[in-house]
Amino acid sequence: MNLMRYDLDATDLLCPLPVLKARKRLQPLSAGDLLEMRANDPAAIVDVPHFCAEAGHALVETREDGDVQVYVIRKGG
């Protein structure tokens, strides 16, 4: 299985747009693929983990890059 990694820049988007963009970007991906999303909306800190838990995806990494949060999401299957 050849897993892929994709990027999504959701900086400067406000709630609920980062999660909505992530949901749309994850739809065509294969189970196990990774999506790295960058966001600076303060609500994303709560919204992204909640979205992953509800949608069956795994939040495998959260880190800060300056004033931007980086979320790595593994698509559930």
Q: What are the residue numbers of the active site?
A: 15
Tokens (6 digits) for 54: 């509800």
Chain centroid to Cα 41, Å, comes to: 13
Place of tokens 């065509």: 28
d(CA 54, CA 37): 18
